[in-house]
Structure 1
Amino acid sequence: MKLKSRCIPCLLNRVIYEADLTGANEATKKRLVQIAARIMLEAYDRNPSSAAVATEVHRRAYRELGSEDPYRELKRRSTQVAQSLLPEAEAFIESSEDRLAAAVMCSIVGNAIDFGIAGSASSPEELAASFTGEIQKGLQHDDLAILRRHLDGEVLYFTDNCGEIVFDRLVCRELKKCGVSLTLVVKGAPVLTDATLEDARDLHFEEVVDDIATTGGFAVGVDFQQIPAALKPQLDSASLVICKGMANYESFSETDYAPVAYLLKVKCKSIAEDMGLPLNAHAVKVVG
């Protein structure tokens, strides 16, 4: 997805949020806003991808704030809240006639865990309050039947946020029952609330997937110029790429990789328009 005019105030709000997380003073916030605005304005005329611009904005913000992981505590709390909901999620899956669909629903509801942007939860505890009602709402866009047709051979699963990966583990467990070779792909470095290799190992993903890879470095979504060499041929040959969350959509929608299944809650009006989906929809959309 290309950078939209709406992305600019959203990214400015996000860096202010990060400054608040680190206890930065008003002078630092002012400097961050100036730096972020300059990056976006200089990039705007080049019609860049929103993910690439967001990556540079957050890279500079982290540097100015002197923090490698300003979201660390929020990620810990998100995982803790999600784990407290596991018994309910497991019961929901167990009672469903379609275990994969139920696991996917839990995972997409978990995608509400995102901070500092409009339309997302403002605290991890909000998920606990809304989880029961949200999983009963179902999908507003449902391409699960198409997704199933591509469950043959190698599948790559690109994760999004901490917390929701607790539910991604349930999806991976059900995908493995379909006989696929499954590789989990997490972030190569801490960025926003996204899951890293450490987070995946803490949740013992090695028990439910065949391999765990990383995106190779610091990036919002995926920077395809820095992904590990071993991952490139897997992307080219995969029978299906599953992408969680909005940032992965922003990155993959700029490529020719196909088929790609996007699993997300649509929290952003620009992404809703780009995907042709309603705002706040729970969606499984397959492209290609």
Structure 2
Amino acid sequence: MQIVPRCFGCFIRQAESVCDVCGVTGRQRSLVLRSVCEVLSKAPLDVPPPVVSDDVYGCIRNELGIDDPYADLKHEYNEQALAHYPACRELIESSDQPLRTALQLAIVGNVVDFGCDTAFDLDASIGAVRELPLSDRLVDTLDAALRKASSLVYLTDNCGEIVFDRLALELIIDRYGPKTIDVVVKGGPWINDVTADDVASVGISSLPSVNIVEVSNGDEGTGMARHSSAFHDFIAGHEVCISKGQANWELLSEKSNIFFFFMAKCPEIASSCNAELGEPIAYLSK
């Protein structure tokens, strides 16, 4: 997906949100927004939105002198999600369709997103998880793919959500036992996206067969650029790819053989996926 006009207003709103979280007002807030506007004035129009977001968030961090503006909120939502872990694990273990239930929980976890202009209630979403629509055919297709696969790449998205990804990964390890699972995280702070420290804090790093792979947050030395051919080749080198979140969809929607799972929180993305705002998106790209 390439940038559309609506994206520019969203970038400004995201900058405002960071200022709100950090308590930035007055002249400093104006300076942050002016700098973001300068970045946007030079932004290419033929790239996916996350490519420009890298520059926008780098600009905000530099202006504020704060490396991780969402650090406290990320920790808070990881802890909140971990409190649900035992009950959610029991939900999966008692299910007659455990893969389906694990995927439903992983999708529900995607409501935790501080980069979108949508309110969310994690507790309510978990309570309604069994009602989340998910195609039996898609679940069966993923089940068949995992049964044959020796390698899986799992593209993470947000903190809080990552606890439900852990549940899905544990099920995959126990039920299918792929030899290699590469879990992709950001190499540095990027909104409330998952970093290596986050996956370690919720127990994913210590799971069998799991390797943590870092991709760039836009800063030099933080990993492969997510829109690079090197990253695309890396994904293609795995037999199964599970992709979480809107940003990964924006970057990879034109690539084939990727299982996408996320909630539609952007009107443009919802429209592209023939869905309503707030609906779950789950499909295998062709």
Alignment of 1:78-89 (within 5 A): 78-89=77-88
**Structure 2 CA distance for partners of 1:217 and 1:234, relative to 1, 3 Å:** closer
Structure-1 separation of matches of 2:163 and 2:8: 31
Structure-2 separation of matches of 1:105 and 1:183: 21
Q: Secondary structure at 1:150's aligned position in 2?
A: helix
Map of 2:284 onto structure 1: 286
Paired letter, 2:133: L
Map of 2:133 onto structure 1: 139
Output one character per residue of 1:1-60: Cα deviation in whole Å (capped at 9) or x when no partner.
11111111111111111112222122122222222233223325x322111111111110
Counterpart of 2:271 (choices 270, 273, 276) is: 273
Map of 2:214 onto structure 1: 215
State the 1:68 CA deviation: 0.6
State the 1:195 CA deviation: 1.0
Q: Secondary structure at 2:4's aligned position in 1?
A: coil
Count the aligned residue pairs. Answer: 277
State the 1:233 CA deviation: 5.4
Structure-2 separation of matches of 1:77 and 1:205: 17
Alignment of 1:179-198 (within 5 A): 179-180=177-178, 181-198=180-197
| TM-score, normalisation: structure 2 | 0.88
8 Å CA contact retained: 2:196, 2:214:
no
Alignment of 1:125-164 (within 5 A): 126-133=121-128, 135-139=129-133, 143-151=138-146, 152-164=149-161
Paired letter, 2:142: L
Q: Runs of 5+ in structure 1 lacking a partner?
A: none
8 Å CA contact retained: 2:115, 2:192:
no
When structure 1 is superposed on structure 2, of 208-217 and 48-57 the one drifting more is 208-217
**Structure 2 CA distance for partners of 1:282 and 1:2, relative to 1, 3 Å:** same
Paired letter, 2:131: K
8 Å CA contact retained: 1:16, 1:33:
yes
Structure-1 separation of matches of 2:19 and 2:42: 22
8 Å CA contact retained: 1:120, 1:267:
no
Map of 1:175 onto structure 2: 172
Map of 2:162 onto structure 1: 165
State the 1:232 CA deviation: 6.6
Structure with higher RCO (Cα < 8 A, 6+ apart):
1
State the 1:90 CA deviation: 1.8
**Structure 2 CA distance for partners of 1:68 and 1:132, relative to 1, 3 Å:** same
Output one character per residue of 1:198-221: Cα deviation in whole Å (capped at 9) or x when no partner.
11112222443413233333149x
State the 1:225 CA deviation: 6.1
Paired letter, 1:36: V
When structure 1 is superposed on structure 2, of 155-164 and 206-215 the one drifting more is 206-215
Output one character per residue of 1:250-287: Cα deviation in whole Å (capped at 9) or x when no partner.
11125x4x311111111111111223333211222110
| TM-score, normalisation: structure 1 | 0.88
Structure-2 separation of matches of 1:116 and 1:26: 22
Output one character per residue of 1:173-192: Cα deviation in whole Å (capped at 9) or x when no partner.
11122232322111111111
Q: Secondary structure at 2:281's aligned position in 1?
A: strand
Alignment of 1:105-144 (within 5 A): 105-121=104-120, 126-133=121-128, 135-139=129-133, 143-144=138-139
- Percent identical pairs in the alignment equals 27
**Structure 2 CA distance for partners of 1:158 and 1:178, relative to 1, 3 Å:** same
Structure-2 separation of matches of 1:34 and 1:112: 30
State the 1:89 CA deviation: 1.0
8 Å CA contact retained: 2:264, 2:281:
yes
8 Å CA contact retained: 2:102, 2:168:
yes
Q: Runs of 5+ in structure 2 lacking a partner?
A: none
Structure-2 separation of matches of 1:285 and 1:42: 34
- 1:33 paired with 2:33, answer yes
